[in-house]
Amino acid sequence: MAELVDALDLGSSGIIRGGSNPFTRKRSIMLVYLETFGCQMNELDSELVKQQLKNNSYKFVEEDKSADIILVNTCSVRDLSEQKVLSRLGYFKLLKDMKPQLIIGIIGCMAERKKEILIAYPQIDLLVGPNRLYEISTLLKNIIGISKRTKQVSLFNIDRKDSSLELLERMDLERLQDIENRKQAYVRITRGCNKFCSYCVIPKTRGFEIHRNKDAILYEIKALVEAGVVEITLLGQTVNHYPEFHALLKDIHDRFPKLERLRFMTNYPRDISDDILDVMRNSSRICKYLHIPAQSGSNKILKLMNRGYTREHYLALIRKARSKMPDISIVGDMIVGFPGETQEDFEQSLSLIEEVQYQNLYIFKYSPRPDTVSFRKMIEDVSSKEKQIRHFKMLSLQQQISLKHLKNQLGKIVVILVEKALNAKLYMSARLIGRTEGNDVVIFQGSRDLIGKIVNIRIEYITSYILGGSFVSEFKNDHSYEDHKKTSQD
Ligand code: 5AD
């Protein structure tokens, strides 16, 4: 096995606190507070870390102040994401000043990307990169169990030959011990990314693209479905780059009839094949929902971004998806203020948005990330004020489009998966919240029994980009996509 633990003994550099370590005293249960920033992949990683630590008798708490261990699962995709964590670290330092035995760990992408800087923070005891998360319990033991505290650091990316991959894989599979009462779950199918978009830090933090073994994915899904999970979202940075992705989708859909909803994200436009669209169209329980970021509507900027497709190619793809599935929800990501983006390029992005009519759009101001091509080779020539203006304009345009989409739902009966109740558990009747297969959020008043079920809701009003309505009936998913469309339009 590759060297797993790279324990840095920083000796007397301020890490040993107060001579004796209170954790060397036998203490039955350690309390952990885990905070998560960033994407769905991070949410899944946090869930797996939680599972790993629970298996090792740690208990989780909701409050940072009552914890013995604080873990922060971090994101590096934009500077803002990192700034948030740095400001949390200032606060955690105050907590640690009051409680010197507190253990603080930074895990995930920022641990990997900012290791040199973070290691110098006296309040940090643990740094673990996204590809080493399976080691956390061992590393914590190293901190807790010995009188002289040493910083524990485990980073580095993995490659296909690294046996640590097997240990990472085990983490995904071990989650199966704690999935009761779950209705929704993420399942990773791919780790890392090979696309090298010029602005993106992910290949540096999560490493090269590695596809999980299909049998392992199916095994995991089987156990989730048997435990009552009704909605699964397959995750990958470029999920549709999985080999024969359409066959995987079809296989999952056909093997697990009790799985009411199957989603996947995020898609890379160039890798959406006709096969994938056809399987989506023909499989009634695959959500007609595509998160498919364009990032820009200007060919010049797409080229600088190294996205590997043109505006025309992207628009043709959206048209094709809509011709096969007229009701499909298209969701995207856009970056404004990329180096070299002129007013004209920006307007090309706006016109692409007009043309696509996204149901929802995530809009980001370009953030230069060290070690990326755009940071090293391009001049940041859009001022932050201009980025702000473009961000606002794009947001306003999208808000109009989203609102138009929502208004179109008024009076219709939509099918949603009920996710949870919004108010405290006083009465059986509650304000419930759920999502359509296109990911529109819907609220209604109904019995808590409906949580986890698929139901028909008549849409009656819109409130801050959320649909509101009333319960009609439970949905029986025993017909094809075409029938389903008919019912929801009645
Ligand atoms: N600056 C701004 N936005 C970025 N994204 C990724 N990297 C950057 C960056 N350096 C956005 C992209 C991506 C989403 C997850 O974050 O739109 O799809």
pLDDT in tens, 210-249: 999 999 999 999 999 999 999 999 999 999 999 999 999 9
Best substitution site from 204, 361, 364 to test ligand 1's pocket, by max atoms within 8 Å of Cβ? Answer: 364
| pLDDT for position 243 | 97
**342 Cα to the center of ligand 1, angstroms:** 19
Query: What atom of ligand 1 comes closest to residue 266's alpha carbon?
Result: 18
Q: From ligand 1's centre to the CA of 199, what distance in Å?
A: 7
Closest to 32 (Cα-Cα) out of 63, 73, 6, 3: 63
Q: What is the mean pLDDT of residues 95-110?
A: 95
Residue 121 pLDDT more than 90?
A: yes
CA of 407 to the centre of ligand 1 (A): 30
Residue 487 has pLDDT above 80, yes or no: no
Rounded Cα distance between 195 and 230, Å, is 32
Q: Give me the CATH topology for the region 288-408.
A: Transcription Regulator spoIIAA (3.30.750)
Retrieve residue 476's tokens.
Answer: 């029986």
Most confident of 114-123, 146-155, 305-314: 305-314
pLDDT greater than 80 at residue 3: no
| Range(s) within the chain of domains with CATH label 3.40.50.12160 | 11-154
Ligand 1 centroid from CA 263, angstroms: 21
pLDDT for the residue numbered 479: 46
* pLDDT for residue 293: 98
Span 432-479, pLDDT tens digits:
999 999 999 999 999 999 999 999 999 999 998 999 999 999 998 654
Q: Which residue has the tokens 């986890």?
A: 452
pLDDT, position 17: 34
Q: What is the pLDDT of residue 25?
A: 43
256 and 223 in contact (C-beta within 8 Å)? Answer: no
Residue where the block lists tokens 């999208």: 398
Instruction: Please give the structure tokens belonging to residue 483.
Output: 């029938």
Q: Which residues, in sequence order, are CB contacts of 290 under 8 Å at separation 6+? A: 267, 272, 321, 328, 329, 330, 331
CA of 125 to the centre of ligand 1 (A): 30
Report the pLDDT value the prediction gives residue 187, as an integer from 0 to 100. Answer: 97
In which residue ranges of the chain is CATH 3.30.750.210 found?
179-283
Residue pLDDT, tens place only, 54-88: 999 999 999 999 999 999 999 999 999 999 999 99
Query: Tokens at residue 57, please?
Result: 């008798």
Tokens coding 73: 């699962």
Q: How far is the CA of 368 from the centre of ligand 1 (A)?
A: 10
Ligand 1 mean position to 200 CA, how many Å? Answer: 6
User: Over the stretch 390-439, which tens digit does the pLDDT of each residue have?
Assistant: 999 999 999 999 999 999 999 999 999 999 999 877 788 899 999 999 99
Binning pLDDT at 50, 70 and 90, where does residue 251 land?
very high
Q: Using alpha carbons, list the distances in angstroms from residue 55 to 35, 145, 341.
A: 19, 18, 50
Taking the centre of ligand 1 as the mean of its atom positions, its distance from the CA of residue 355, in whole angstroms, is 22
CA of 33 to the centre of ligand 1 (A): 28
* pLDDT on residue 10: 30
Q: What is the dihedral of CA 225, 228, 233, 235, to 10 degrees?
A: -60
> Residue with the nearest Cα to atom 5 of ligand 1?
77
The ligand 1 site (C-beta within 6 Å) comprises 77-78, 199-200, 293, 295, 333, 335, 364, 366-367, 369
For 222-248, letters b (16+ CB in 10 Å) and e give: ebbbeeebbbbbbbbbbbbbbeebbeb
Atom of ligand 1 nearest to the CA of 201: 7
Q: Which residue of 199, 202, 373, 375 sits with most ligand 1 atoms within 8 Å of its CB, as the best mutation to test the pocket?
A: 199
pLDDT averaged over the chain? 89
| Residue 19 identity (one-letter amino acid) | G
Strand partners, 457: 414, 471
pLDDT band at 164 (very low <50, low <70, confident <90, very high): confident
Q: According to the model, what pLDDT value does residue 15 have?
A: 33
Q: How confident is the model at residue 306 (pLDDT cuts 50, 70, 90)?
A: very high
- % of the chain residues with pLDDT over 90: 80
10-45 pLDDT, tens digit each: 322 223 333 344 444 445 799 999 999 999 999 999
Which of 41, 82, 197, 333 to mutate to test ligand 1, by most ligand atoms within 8 A of the CB atom?
333
| Gap from CA of 152 to ligand 1 centroid (Å) | 30
Please give the Cα distance from 32 to 67 (Å, whole number): 5
Torsion of the alpha carbons at 392, 397, 403 and 405, rounded to the nearest 10: -140
Q: Considering the chain, what percentage of its residues have pLDDT values greater than 70?
A: 89
The pTM score is 0.90
Nearest CA to ligand 1 atom 14: 333
Ligand 1 center to 381 CA (angstroms)? 18
77-111 b/e (C-beta count within 10 Å ≥ 16 → b): bbeebbebbeebbeebeebbeeeeebbbbbbbbbb
- What is the Cα–Cα distance from 279 to 401, expressed in whole angstroms? 28
Q: Is residue 198 predicted with pLDDT exceeding 60?
A: yes
CA gap 463, 451 in Å, rounded: 22
Cβ neighbours of residue 303 closer than 8 Å, sequence gap 6 or more:
none
Q: Which residues of 332-371 are buried (b: 16+ CB within 10 A; e: fewer)?
A: bebbbbbbbbeeebbebbbebbeebebbbbebbbbbebee
Over 50: is that where the pLDDT of 303 sits?
yes
Which of 335, 363, 391 best tests ligand 1's pocket when mutated (most atoms within 8 Å of CB)?
335
- Looking at per-residue pLDDT, the higher value among 480 and 243 belongs to 243
For ligand 1, the distance from its centroid to the CA atom of residue 482, given in whole angstroms, is: 36
354 or 145, which is more confident: 354
Pick from 75, 83, 200, 306 the residue to mutate for probing ligand 1's pocket: most ligand atoms within 8 Å of its CB: 200
Q: Residue whose CA is closest, atom 16 of ligand 1?
A: 77
> Which part of the chain is CATH 2.40.50.140?
413-489
Residue 342: pLDDT over 90: yes
Residues 179-283, CATH architecture: 2-Layer Sandwich (3.30)
CA–CA separation, 303 and 292 (whole Å): 17
Judged against a pLDDT cut of 80, whether residue 161 lies above it is answered with: no
Q: Whose CA is nearest to atom 2 of ligand 1?
A: 366
User: pLDDT class for 152, splitting at 50, 70, 90?
Assistant: confident
CATH number, span 413-489: 2.40.50.140
Instruction: Given CATH 3.40.50.300, say whether it is the number of domain 11-154.
Output: no
What pLDDT is recorded for position 150?
78
What is the structure's pLDDT at 12? 28
